[in-house]
């Protein structure tokens, strides 16, 4: 069998449907041959092709069997089959009705299947690690509630003391230069210790991981390659073990390759033993952390809650023993760490799309009602001919089952297409590596089958039950028009559809309002037309403070001379960059025993405030005169100024957050004078203010030689700027590497990705629900109008103006619509709370949003009722009365 | 119209014409190709198969299985050809249609 042969399911179904061996062999052969030619088409096209071909076989051959049977012996057919065939025939006779019902269900079921595959990929499928549900990520949480990376002494103490965890391992993300024939590039590396891979429980793809001796202090120069890097740089060569990789110009021996599933952050290209850099790390400093994260595996029987409690106790014990303040270990189960807010929002989408399906069900229920009423005569005839109530009931139920199954199949086709669209929309906000797990698989198929069955029961039960029960009464009241019972039920359906639409409209509205707020949020800086990039320099450029400062000055001068460039700045980080320098802040009033409060420290060139348009509120900015040998100065942000000196100006005050070597070699505080106050900048996230902030001139920082960011403001959007910058840096220093080139706007876009994806998805769902709701209202009103033609005709005959008749019908349908809006509003206020975590400056009961949603719904629903109601006004009394 | 005259349905006519055109090479896939190419209309294998079944039952076509084929998952081709009755029915159908449309060029604006 070739890999491109027909799925077994299709073959089996065809074999069952086509009895004649010649026809069967020929047909299956034809299908194979044509399917084989589709092998260049994508899975979506192939699935659609298969579904439509299979549907054609089903439609033609199920019908064909009847002919066959009719010619021979009807009596031998079992009744189920009879029901089925009858239903298919009946449906074939009303293609419009069938299309409406099936497509309504397909929409509801398809949307559910697509969202479910996302939810399943995020929350249900096991993590690719051995017993992944026992893994946690541990970072530090300070008393203030901020989380931070882990200091090495804390990692060692947890490892030694915590009994709730079996294993602890640590990874320190960093980057290294990797030379390729196309020039150097920067790769993400992870320094690991403590049995990192063993803790995660994941087998190497090739070779092995590090041994104890390889990873300890004075470790050997060995590496484990990440899967992506191995594929890219080594063409996935299985004999890679023993080969050498040069990082920052130094050779490392490859011992193994990690599997593709091992993705914790951005994909790590290379893993190295932490021991290699241990001597250069603050190994014994509990107050400093440099970005390390800890992964831990729960001991048998332990829970995450117990482990969290234990780490809190350990932090308390450490503080008592050492007299140092320390953050406590903060346990996040690995799954939550991966999926976090995205996981929560995906559940919300599941609920939203569930409402969509309920509206679809309500529509189908209503359509089946209508159809069953049209067939009262047929049902009565059936019972008169001796069909039991059960038999009639079953016939009706078979109908809803058949439409549900067809809706399910069509929905599955929609889901395949929809999932692609969905993933292209939300791909950026999904955790790395998770999009690949979102496929239409067995789980999704089972879910869809369940939904279809549930839909059949939900949508079919009421009409079927009513028809079966009503048949006796119907025969007695043969001339009865418009029974009141179904009319009431239909009004309830309309109210429900309106209520569900209202809930989704409000949800979409809240996110639309949130994004509008977020786009206008006072972030403290202006990122439009700002491009950032990182420059890593070879060691000789970082040999002294002066060579480092000079190199960056040259880079700024040359870039600044390019046409269209307004200003250029160098800094240690930039707003929303995801990296940050936090230092302990003290001023002259801070008691000596107090360690101080954490402050966000940005080291900048004078042009930084111009580049990001951060307003200077008081005093001055930095100038070229603020050199290392001049008076040490600093700027503070308005928050720091307000909290520290509420009643006086901070200018001239002295503050410190760095240490330098004193004349005797001991560490002393580096004091600075505050010369200005600037606007608070939202550095960590757009949605909330950051900590207190301070700025120092880059030329005056205690730290230097680090890999820094260059930010370029242009007068307009400039194409072709990046190659010119590369050329400039390359000519100044061929060994320098430029990486992480981003515009601030793209950084903000990414920051708002989840909000935007939720807004778009909820808007689409609200629109679809609204559409289905309108179809529902339209069909209810047009049906009720049809049933009341006699009454309406009489009214017109008695002198009622047509326009008044139309208004009468519309007014009556407004009752369920208004009821639906009211109940929907109440439900939306309750459910809006679930959205709260991604709302910004908009409450879940925002009156403007509720009001707009109600207004939209009222308008659209009224129009949907008015269209069929116009017919009522056009009734010709003579015709109606003549019919009697 | 005499009762023993049989007209082919629209799709049956298409298949009959395709089978005639294909000669010895007429089987499901080639029939679909001819119809799709000439009419621009998408055709499903199931539709062709069931129509051939019907036509065979009415004695309009005869089919035989060829040798098993690798490109078809080891399944044979179902080659068909028109029987004398089939040919007759095809011709009558064609004549009937042509005569109905005859001289109507102006009426349908052709």
Interface test with B, best of A29, A55, A63 (most B CBs within 10 A): A29
pLDDT of residue A73: 36
The per-residue pLDDT for A595 is 74
pLDDT at site A753: 83
User: Which residue in A457, A309, A342, A449 sits closest to A393, CA to CA?
Assistant: A457
CB pairs under 8 A between A and B: 93
CA distance A506 to A92: 39
pLDDT at A538: 82
Of A5, A59, A64, the CB nearest to B53: A64
% of chain A at pLDDT higher than 90: 27
Give per-residue pLDDT as tens, A572-588: 999 988 778 888 888 98
Question: Given a cut of 70, is residue A803 above it in pLDDT?
Answer: yes
CA A542 to chain centre: 41
A464 has pLDDT over 80: no
Q: Which of A636-640, A732-736, A740-744, A814-818 tops mean pLDDT?
A: A636-640
Q: In A, what residues contact B, Cβ < 8 A?
A: 1-2, 5-6, 18, 20, 22-23, 25-34, 36, 52-54, 56-61, 64
| Geometric angle at alpha carbon A629, from A623 and A635, rounded to 5° | 40
Label residue B2 by pLDDT band (50, 70, 90): very low
Residue A377: per-residue pLDDT: 65
pLDDT score of A777 more than 80: yes
Q: How confident is the model at residue A340 (pLDDT cuts 50, 70, 90)?
A: confident
The rounded distance, in Å, linking the Cα atoms of A789 and A488 is 18
pLDDT of residue A69: 40
Per-residue pLDDT at A677: 96
What are the tokens at A537? 């320099």
Mean pLDDT, residues A558-578: 92
pLDDT of residue A30: 93
| Position A71 confidence tier, pLDDT thresholds 50, 70, 90 | very low
**For the range A436-441, what are the long-range contacts, defined as Cβ-Cβ under 8 Å and sequence gap of 24 or more?**
A437/A121, A437/A125, A438/A117, A438/A118, A438/A120, A438/A121, A438/A122, A439/A117, A439/A121, A440/A113, A440/A117, A440/A412, A440/A415, A440/A416, A441/A117
The mean per-residue pLDDT over the stretch A419-430 comes to 83
Q: Is the pLDDT of residue A474 over 80?
A: no
**What value, to the nearest 5°, has the Cα angle with vertex A431 and ends A430 and A434?**
85
Q: Which residues in chain A are contacts of B28 at CB distance < 8 A? A: 26-27, 29-30
pLDDT for the residue numbered A876? 74
Predicted pLDDT of residue A526? 92
Q: Is B78 on the interface with A (CB under 8 A)?
A: yes
Q: Answer yes or no: is pLDDT of A268 > 70.
A: yes
* Stretch A332-345: mean pLDDT: 84
Q: Residue range A222-236: average pLDDT?
A: 89
- Give per-residue pLDDT as tens, B27-84: 999 999 999 999 888 899 999 999 999 899 889 999 999 888 777 888 999 999 999 9
Q: What is the mean pLDDT of residues A453-482?
A: 61
Q: Is the pLDDT of residue A480 over 50?
A: no
Chain B residue closest to A6 (CA)? B73
Q: Would you state the pLDDT for residue A856? A: 92
**What pLDDT is stored for residue A285 in this prediction?**
85
3-state secondary structure of A485: helix
Dist CA A511 CA A177 (whole Å): 42
Average pLDDT (A45-54) is: 82
Candidate from B47, B63, B75 with C-beta closest to A32: B75
A58 chain-B contacts, CB cut-off 8 A: 46
Contacts A5 to B, Cβ<8 Å = 73
Whether A500 has a pLDDT exceeding 50, the answer reads yes
Q: Chain A partners of B75 at a C-beta cutoff of 8 Å?
A: 25-26, 28-29, 32
What is d(CA A410, CA A110) in angstroms, rounded to the nearest whole number?
Answer: 8
The pLDDT confidence band at residue A812, using thresholds 50, 70 and 90, is confident
pTM of the shown model:
0.69
pLDDT of residue A381: 67
Query: In which residue are the tokens 């960059």 written?
Result: A577
**Range A88-100 average pLDDT:** 81
Is B76 touching A (CB cutoff 8 A)? yes
- pLDDT bin (cut points 50, 70, 90) of residue A712 is very high
Contact indicator for A230, A224 with CB cutoff of 8 Å? no
pLDDT at A714: 93
A138 bridge partner residues? A294, A331
Cβ within 8 Å, pair A26-B47: no
User: Across residues A774-790, what is the average pLDDT?
Assistant: 81
How many whole angstroms separate alpha carbon A275 and alpha carbon A801?
A: 92
| Highest mean pLDDT out of A184-188, A231-235, B5-9, B100-104 | A231-235
How large is the average pLDDT for residues A288-314?
Answer: 90
B50 touches chain A (CB under 8 A): yes
pLDDT band, residue A470 (cuts 50/70/90): low
* Residue A384, C-beta contacts closer than 8 angstroms, at least 6 positions apart: A475
Separation CA A852–CA A864 (nearest Å): 18
CA angle A657, A658, A664 (to 5 degrees): 135
Mean pLDDT, to the nearest integer, of A347-357?
Answer: 86
B50/A25 CB distance under 8 A: no
Report the pLDDT value the prediction gives residue A603, as an integer from 0 to 100: 95
Q: How confident is residue A75, by pLDDT bands cut at 50, 70 and 90?
A: very low
Q: Residue A800's pLDDT is what?
A: 77
Q: What mean pLDDT do residues A49-67 have?
A: 72
In the 8-state DSSP scheme, what is residue A101?
Answer: H
Facing B45 at nearest CB: one of A2, A5, A30: A30
The residue written with tokens 């002295």 in the block is A654
ipTM score of the complex?
A: 0.89
Band of pLDDT at residue A66, cut at 50, 70 and 90:
very low
Identify which of A834, A241, A835, A817 has the alpha carbon closest to the alpha carbon of residue A513: A835
pLDDT band for A880, please (50, 70, 90 cuts): low
Query: Highest-confidence range of A122-136, A292-306, A660-674, by mean pLDDT?
Result: A292-306
Q: Report the DSSP pairing between strands A616-619 and A667-678.
A: antiparallel
**Best B15, B26, B44 residue to mutate vs chain A (most A CBs within 10 Å):** B44
Q: How far is A32 from chain B (nearest CA, A)?
A: 5
Please tell me the predicted confidence (pLDDT) of residue B70: 77
The pLDDT assigned to A350 comes to 87
Predicted pLDDT at A2? 42
Amino acid A436: pLDDT: 78
Contact A22/B78, CB-based, under 8 Å? yes
The per-residue pLDDT for A328 is 87
């Amino acid at each position: 069998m070739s890999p491109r042969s027909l799925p077994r399911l299709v073959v089996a179904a065809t074999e069952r449907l086509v009895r004649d061996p010649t026809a069967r062999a020929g047909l299956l052969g034809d299908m194979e041959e044509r399917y084989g030619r589709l092998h260049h088409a994508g899975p979506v096209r192939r699935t659609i092709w298969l579904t439509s071909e299979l549907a054609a076989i089903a439609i033609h051959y199920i019908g064909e069997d009847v002919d066959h049977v009719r010619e021979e012996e009807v009596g031998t057919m079992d009744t189920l089959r009879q029901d089925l065939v009858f239903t298919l025939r009946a449906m074939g006779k009303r293609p419009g009705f069938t299309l409406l019902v099936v497509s309504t269900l397909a929409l509801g079921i398809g949307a559910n299947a697509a969202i479910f595959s996302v939810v399943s990929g995020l929350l249900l499928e096991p993590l690719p690690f051995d017993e992944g549900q026992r893994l946690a990520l541990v970072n530090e949480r300070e008393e203030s509630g901020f989380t931070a990376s882990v200091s090495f002494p804390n990692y060692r103490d947890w490892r030694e003391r915590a009994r709730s965890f079996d294993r602890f391992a640590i990874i320190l993300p960093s980057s290294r230069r990797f030379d390729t024939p196309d020039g150097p590039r920067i790769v993400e590396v992870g320094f690991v210790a403590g049995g990192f891979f063993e803790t995660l429980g994941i087998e190497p793809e090739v070779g092995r991981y590090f041994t104890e001796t390889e990873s300890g202090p004075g470790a050997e120069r060995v590496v484990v390659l990440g899967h992506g890097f191995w594929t890219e740089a080594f063409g996935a060569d299985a004999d890679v073990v023993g080969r050498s990789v040069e990082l920052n110009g130094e050779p490392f021996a490859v011992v193994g390759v990690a599997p593709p599933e091992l993705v914790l952050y951005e994909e790590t290209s290379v893993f190295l033993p932490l021991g290699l850099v241990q001597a250069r790390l603050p190994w014994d400093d509990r107050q400093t952390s440099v970005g390390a994260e800890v992964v831990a595996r729960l001991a048998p029987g332990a829970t995450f809650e117990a482990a969290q409690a234990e780490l809190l106790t350990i932090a308390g014990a450490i503080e008592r023993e050492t007299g140092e303040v320390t953050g406590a270990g903060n346990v996040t189960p690995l799954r939550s760490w991966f999926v976090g807010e995205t996981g929560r929002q995906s559940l919300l989408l599941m609920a939203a799309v569930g409402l969509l399906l309920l509206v679809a069900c309500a529509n189908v229920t209503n359509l089946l009602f209508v159809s069953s009423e049209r067939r009262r005569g047929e049902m009565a005839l059936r019972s008169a001919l001796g069909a039991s109530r059960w038999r009639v009931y079953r016939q009706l139920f078979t109908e809803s089952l058949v439409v549900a199954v067809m809706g399910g199949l069509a929905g599955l086709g929609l889901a395949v297409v929809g999932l692609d669209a969905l993933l292209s929309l939300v791909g950026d906000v999904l955790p790395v590596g998770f999009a690949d797990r979102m496929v239409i698989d067995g789980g999704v198929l089972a879910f869809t089958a369940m939904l279809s069955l549930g839909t059949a029961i939900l949508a079919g039960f009421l009409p079927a039950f009513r028809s079966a029960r009503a048949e006796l009464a119907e025969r007695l009241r043969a001339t009865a028009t418009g029974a009141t019972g179904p009319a009431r039920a239909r009004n309830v359906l309309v109210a429900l559809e309106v209520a569900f639409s209202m809930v989704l409209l409000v949800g979409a509205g809240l996110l639309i309002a949130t994004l509008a707020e977020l786009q206008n949020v006072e972030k403290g800086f202006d990122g439009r037309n700002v491009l950032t990039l990182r420059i890593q320099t070879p060691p000789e450029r970082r040999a002294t403070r002066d060579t480092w400062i000079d190199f960056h000055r040259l880079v700024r001068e040359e870039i600044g001379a390019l046409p269209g460039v307004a200003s250029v700045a160098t800094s240690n980080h930039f707003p929303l960059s995801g990296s940050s320098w936090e230092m302990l802040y003290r001023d002259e009033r801070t008691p000596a025993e107090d360690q101080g409060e954490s402050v966000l420290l940005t080291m900048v060139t004078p042009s930084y405030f111009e580049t990001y348009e951060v307003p200077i509120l008081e005093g001055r900015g930095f100038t070229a005169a603020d050199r290392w040998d001049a008076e040490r100065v600093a700027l503070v942000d308005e928050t720091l100024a307000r909290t520290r000196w509420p009643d006086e100006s901070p200018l001239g005050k002295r503050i410190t957050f760095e240490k330098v070597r004193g004349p005797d070699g001991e560490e002393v505080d580096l004091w600075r004078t505050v010369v200005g106050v600037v606007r608070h900048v939202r550095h960590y996230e757009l949605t909330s203010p950051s900590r207190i902030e301070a700025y120092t001139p880059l030329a005056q920082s205690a730290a230097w030689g680090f890999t820094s960011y260059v930010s370029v403001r242009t007068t307009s959007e400039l194409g072709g700027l990046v190659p010119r910058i590369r050329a400039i840096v390359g000519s100044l220093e061929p060994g320098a590497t430029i990486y992480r080139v981003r515009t601030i706007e793209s950084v903000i876009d990414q920051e708002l990705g989840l909000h935007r994806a939720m807004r778009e998805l909820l808007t689409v769902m609200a629109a679809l629900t609204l559409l289905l709701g309108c179809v529902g209202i339209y069909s209810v009103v047009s049906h009720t109008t049809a049933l009341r033609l006699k009454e309406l005709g009489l009214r017109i005959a008695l002198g009622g103006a047509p326009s008044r008749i139309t208004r009468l019908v519309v007014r009556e349908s407004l009752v369920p619509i208004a009821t639906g809006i009211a109940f929907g509003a109440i439900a939306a206020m309750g459910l809006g709370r679930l959205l709260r975590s991604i709302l910004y400056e908009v409450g879940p009961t925002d009156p403007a949003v509720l009001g707009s949603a109600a207004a939209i719904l009222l308008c659209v629903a009224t129009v949907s009722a008015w269209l069929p109601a116009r017919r009522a006004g056009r009734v010709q009394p003579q015709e109606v009365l003549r019919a009697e | 119209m005499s009762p023993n005259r049989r007209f082919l349905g629209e799709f049956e006519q298409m298949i009959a014409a395709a089978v005639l055109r294909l000669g010895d090479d007429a089987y499901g896939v080639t029939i679909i190709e001819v119809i799709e190419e000439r009419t621009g209309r998408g055709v499903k294998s199931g539709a062709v198969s069931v129509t051939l079944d019907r036509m065979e039952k009415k004695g309009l076509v005869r089919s035989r299985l060829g040798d098993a084929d690798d490109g078809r998952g080891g399944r044979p081709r179902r080659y068909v050809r028109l029987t004398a009755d089939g040919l007759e029915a095809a011709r009558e159908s064609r004549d009937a249609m042509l005569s109905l449309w005859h001289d109507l060029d102006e009426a349908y604006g052709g």
